[in-house]
């Protein structure tokens, strides 16, 4: 312990640096506390003044201007050259692709009452492709999963969702992978695209929908374009990372042997980064599936539409059944692409025991899949899924029965939990934000941004605050901010407890991490259903769903940060007599502060996206404004402004927490 304490005093030159660093670390919490105390004092004096509140049906000049722009675009859509030769053409191409895939597997085509490939062919092809790119285990999972979708009585809805997802991922990968390769090869391109990728991944899924309907109308085309935009960043970022991760020595060896840049790319860089690139495809598919379900708000067909309608009517049974189908589809797609990323490594480990027979067996499998597709194209019994979806009816009935039992027998407990957190934490904090003068809250946010993230973060926060005022939705933005911050605090409490537990125990990590991985596969919609049954349609439902949705990523980041604390440091602290509590609080968490700040960043972004989705179940504020903008034409401009406000909150959160993470890791 003496060595650790005396480490800063090893040289005289470093003596002045230690006190300065210590002062900065001590000074920052003190400054934050002083800002908050000053805020509370001024709140007590100025409460209720200059709050910029706006009634649900009221519009500002900006909202009316957005409405006028929407009306003008609608009136000139077929005469304006920009729409005639650009936006309408893009919409036509995307719509043609989506219609083609839908007619292939989900919707009747022009000359047929059924799709070109019926359920038997789809199941056969899914099983064969899963086996070809993965292994027989994921093939069985794919066959079982797709069959289950039919047994639930949601075959066509599931195939519509799959069609939109596949169409969007296909288009996204057409430009995402080449752009990712380019960013991996060029530092300049990487520096240019990274801020755009950060911005796109910061934006909640809701935000993509409203602007795109302005240019591409409501429907499958807009949903697919929104999904393409949302699904592309993971593939670009991961592909660039894969290319950059190839060892320099390998590239230099290829160059020394006379390989051109093209040959080095095709023969060295891409083959060596293939596994990571496939994982990027996996992340794009998961993002696309999440976006496709939410795009039901702009009339995209599929399972998301069923979930939205059920949530709006508080039909928990139907929502649970459709949500379960989304989960099954997500698990199948995730497992297949994950298996594809490790197939070659698994094949090498098999040492040729089965590889000799793989090609003949794949050929036989292709023949079987072709026969099944032909049967499903030719015969009604192989095209229409048999039965009436009795499994789905049973699942929905069981969910309704469980909901009724919970509401009858556990309402005292659930209401007590809801009321305790709502009245003890959420309401006071929301009142502090919404009843303070807008300029006071803005000044506090800018000051906190500057203290926690530095000067640039403070400037960014000031710009975001000014634009938030300009949207005319300051009060709703503060309500959303309150819910987001309360949920983030709960996420971090859960993340620290479980993350430290996982980081300190390899066994616990092995037991819990698969569950966390599976939880990250599920689209946001799915999380609302069980908590709707427990707590009803309230903002608390959205907050709890947001906590469960954001916790897995925060827990994993914290666990990895704790695990990466050098073992020698932990051993030295243990030898010096530290008990477990001291080891965690004095050594591991302080040394993992960079991971803690990063976990806060990711938790905030995930929570914000989920709190906004919670507008469907009574969360109100900006989420409700966006949903109302889709459903009520006169509120379209207000919904568009709400989407802009959500973006500004996301950018503000992201800039402050990322800057704080960099300062913590410095």
Question: Each residue of 216-242: pLDDT tens digit?
Answer: 888 888 888 888 888 888 889 888 888
The pLDDT-based confidence of 71 (bands split at 50, 70, 90) is confident
- Residues of 365-398 as b/e, b for ≥16 C-beta within 10 angstroms? beeebeebbebbbeeeebbbbeeebebbeebbee
Look at residue 104 in the predicted model and tell me its pLDDT: 92
**Distances from the Cα of 422 to the Cα of 10, 49, 415, 482, 529, angstroms:** 53, 24, 10, 11, 20
The pLDDT tens digits of the residues spanning 139-182 come to: 999 999 999 999 998 999 999 999 999 999 999 999 999 999 89
- Angle, to 10 degrees, between the axis of helix 621-631 and the axis of helix 593-613? 40
Which pair of structure tokens corresponds to residue 231? 């699904």
**Residue in the block written with tokens 């797709």:** 146
Look at residue 41 in the predicted model and tell me its pLDDT: 93
User: Per mean pLDDT, which of 247-256, 338-347, 392-401, 489-498 is the most reliable?
Assistant: 489-498
User: Kindly report the CA angle at 217 between 215 and 218, in degrees rounded to 5?
Assistant: 140
- Does 286 score more than 80 pLDDT? yes
Summarize the confidence of residues 628-654 as an average pLDDT: 85
Q: State the Cα–Cα distance between residues 163 and 168, nearest whole angstrom.
A: 9
Summarize the confidence of residues 355-378 as an average pLDDT: 85
Q: Where are the beta strands (DSSP E) in 350-412?
A: none
Residue 161, classed as helix, strand or coil, is helix
Look at residue 470 in the predicted model and tell me its pLDDT: 93
* Contact of 55 with 186, CB cutoff 8 Å: no
The pLDDT-based confidence of 599 (bands split at 50, 70, 90) is confident
Q: Which of 547, 564, 555 has its CA nearest to residue 514?
A: 555
Look at residue 4 in the predicted model and tell me its pLDDT: 38
Q: Range with the lowest mean pLDDT among 69-73, 363-367, 449-453, 535-539?
A: 535-539
Element at 186 (helix H, strand E): none
Average pLDDT score, the chain: 84
- Residues of 466-488 as b/e, b for ≥16 C-beta within 10 angstroms? eebbebbbbbbbbbbbbbbbbbb
Q: Which of 277, 241, 248, 276 has its CA nearest to residue 264?
A: 248
The pLDDT tens digits of the residues spanning 172-212 come to: 999 999 999 898 888 888 888 888 887 777 677 767 777 88
The model's pTM is 0.81
User: Per mean pLDDT, which of 351-365, 379-393, 478-492 is the most reliable?
Assistant: 478-492
Q: State the Cα–Cα distance between residues 208 and 164, nearest whole angstrom.
A: 16
- Angle, to 10 degrees, between the axis of helix 539-563 and the axis of helix 593-613? 160
Q: Range with the lowest mean pLDDT among 136-145, 348-357, 424-433?
A: 348-357
- Does 465 score more than 90 pLDDT? yes
HSE-CB for 573 with a 13 A CA cutoff: 18
Stronger pLDDT, 402 or 198, i.e. the higher one: 402
User: Per mean pLDDT, which of 1-15, 117-131, 560-574 is the most reliable?
Assistant: 117-131
Q: Range with the lowest mean pLDDT among 18-27, 301-310, 412-421, 471-480?
A: 18-27
Stronger pLDDT, 541 or 375, i.e. the higher one: 375
* Contact of 224 with 653, CB cutoff 8 Å: no
Summarize the confidence of residues 39-66 as an average pLDDT: 89
Residue 305, classed as helix, strand or coil, is helix
Which pair of structure tokens corresponds to residue 64? 């009316």
Cβ neighbour number for residue 293 with a 10 Å cutoff: 32
Look at residue 539 in the predicted model and tell me its pLDDT: 82
Count of positions (residues) in the chain: 666
Look at residue 8 in the predicted model and tell me its pLDDT: 40
Within 454-591, residue ranges assigned H as helices are 455-471, 474-504, 506-521, 524-535, 539-563, 567-575, 580-582, 589-591
Q: State the Cα–Cα distance between residues 549 and 329, nearest whole angstrom.
A: 18
What letter does residue 134 receive in the DSSP assignment?
S
- Does 354 score more than 70 pLDDT? no
Element at 595 (helix H, strand E): helix 593-613
Q: State the Cα–Cα distance between residues 142 and 131, nearest whole angstrom.
A: 9
Summarize the confidence of residues 273-298 as an average pLDDT: 84
Summarize the confidence of residues 330-336 as an average pLDDT: 89
Summarize the confidence of residues 319-342 as an average pLDDT: 86
Q: State the Cα–Cα distance between residues 377 and 374, nearest whole angstrom.
A: 5
What letter does residue 47 receive in the DSSP assignment?
T
């Amino acid at each position: 312990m003496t060595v650790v304490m005396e480490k800063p005093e090893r040289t005289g030159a470093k003596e002045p640096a230690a006190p300065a660093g210590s002062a900065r670390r001590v000074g920052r919490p003190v400054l934050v506390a002083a800002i908050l105390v000053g805020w509370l004092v001024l709140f007590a004096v100025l409460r209720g003044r200059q709050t910029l509140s706006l009634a649900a049906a009221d519009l500002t000049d900006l909202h009316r201007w957005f409405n006028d722009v929407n009306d003008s675009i609608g009136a000139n859509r077929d005469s304006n050259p920009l729409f005639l030769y650009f936006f309408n053409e893009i919409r036509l191409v995307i719509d043609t692709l989506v219609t083609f895939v839908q007619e292939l597997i989900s919707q009747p085509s022009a000359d047929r009452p059924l799709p070109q490939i019926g359920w038997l062919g789809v199941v056969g092809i899914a099983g064969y492709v899963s086996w070809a790119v993965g292994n027989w285990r994921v093939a069985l999972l794919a066959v079982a999963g797709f069959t289950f979708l039919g047994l639930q009585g949601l075959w066509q809805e599931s195939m519509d969702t799959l069609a939109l997802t596949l169409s969007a991922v296909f288009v996204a990968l057409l430009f995402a992978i080449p752009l990712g390769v380019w960013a991996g090869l060029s530092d300049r391109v990487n520096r240019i695209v990274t801020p755009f990728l950060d911005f796109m991944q910061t934006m909640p899924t809701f935000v993509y929908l409203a602007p795109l309907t302005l240019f591409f109308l409501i429907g499958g085309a807009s949903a697919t374009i929104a999904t393409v935009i949302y699904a592309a960043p993971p593939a670009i970022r991961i592909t660039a990372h894969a290319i950059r991760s190839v060892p320099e020595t390998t590239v230099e060896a290829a160059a020394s042997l006379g390989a051109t840049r093209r040959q080095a790319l095709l023969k060295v860089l891409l083959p060596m980064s293939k596994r990571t690139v496939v994982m990027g495809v996996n992340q794009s598919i998961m993002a696309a599936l999440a976006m496709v379900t939410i795009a039901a708000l702009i009339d995209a067909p599929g399972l998301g539409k069923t979930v939205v309608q059920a949530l709006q009517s508080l039909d928990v049974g139907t929502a649970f059944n459709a949500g379960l189908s989304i989960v099954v589809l997500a698990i199948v797609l995730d497992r297949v692409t994950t298996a594809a990323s490790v197939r070659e490594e698994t094949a090498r480990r098999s040492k040729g025991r089965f590889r000799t027979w793989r090609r003949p067996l794949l050929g036989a499998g292709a023949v079987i899949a072709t026969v099944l597709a032909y049967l499903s194209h030719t015969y009604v019994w192989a095209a229409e899924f048999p039965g009436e979806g009795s499994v789905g009816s049973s699942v929905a009935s069981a969910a309704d029965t469980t909901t009724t039992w919970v509401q009858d027998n556990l309402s005292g407990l659930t209401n007590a939990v809801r009321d305790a957190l709502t009245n003890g934490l959420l309401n006071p904090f929301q009142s502090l934000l919404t009843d303070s003068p807008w300029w006071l809250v803005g000044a506090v946010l800018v000051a906190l941004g500057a203290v926690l993230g530095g000067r640039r973060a403070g400037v960014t926060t000031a710009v975001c605050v000014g634009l938030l005022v300009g949207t005319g939705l300051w009060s709703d933005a503060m309500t959303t901010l309150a819910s987001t911050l309360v949920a983030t605090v709960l996420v971090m409490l859960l993340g620290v407890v479980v993350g430290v537990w996982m980081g300190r125990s390899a066994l616990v990590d092995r037991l819990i991490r698969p569950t966390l991985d599976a939880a990250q596969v599920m689209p946001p919609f799915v999380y609302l259903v069980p908590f709707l049954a427990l707590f009803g349609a309230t903002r608390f439902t959205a907050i709890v769903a947001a906590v469960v949705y954001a916790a897995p990523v925060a827990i994993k980041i914290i666990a990895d940060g704790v695990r990466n604390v050098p073992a020698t440091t932990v051993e030295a602290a243990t030898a010096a007599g530290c008990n477990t509590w001291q080891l965690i609080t004095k050594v591991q968490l302080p040394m993992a502060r960079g991971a803690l700040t990063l976990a806060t960043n990711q938790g905030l972004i995930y929570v914000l996206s989920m709190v906004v989705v919670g507008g469907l179940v009574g969360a109100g504020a900006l989420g409700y404004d966006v949903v109302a903008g889709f459903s009520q034409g006169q509120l379209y401009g207000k919904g568009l402004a709400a989407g802009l406000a959500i973006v500004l909150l996301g950018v503000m959160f992201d800039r402050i927490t990322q800057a704080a993470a960099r300062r913590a890791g410095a």
